Structure 1
């Protein structure tokens, strides 16, 4: 195997690894943002005065 082919192969492998890492980082960041948005949405929907009493008639 000649050096140029080896160098090209290593460079392509390095680029693929860097791209995979970047995509994984972007996915993690997006998941964190969605999680924070879900937490905020749930905090806004809390109504502590509801559900404290149950009226039943038989």
Structure 2
């Protein structure tokens, strides 16, 4: 293998690795954003739902 072909191969491998790292970072950021949105949605639902003092549907602390 000559030097030019070796250099081209190394450059392509480096580019592929850089692209993979960038895509992985984008996926991580998207997952983090979706997780934050899910937490906000759950908190909003928790504050707007009337489930009594136990916080669980169908379970009440009153014994009447």
TM-score, scaled relative to structure 2: 0.76
Specify the alignment match of 1:24 in structure 2: 24
Coordinate RMSD, CA, aligned: 2.0
- Kindly tell me the number of residue pairs found equivalent between the two proteins: 57
CA distance in 2, matches of 1:49, 1:9: 63
Stretches of structure 1 lacking an aligned partner (at least 5 in a row)? none
CA distance in 2, matches of 1:30, 1:40: 15
Specify the alignment match of 2:51 in structure 1: 50
Q: C-alpha displacement at 1:50, in angstroms?
A: 1.4
| Structure with bigger RCO (C-alpha 8 Å, 6+ apart) | 2
TM-score, scaled relative to structure 1: 0.83
Runs of 4+ in structure 1 off by over 2 angstroms are 51-55
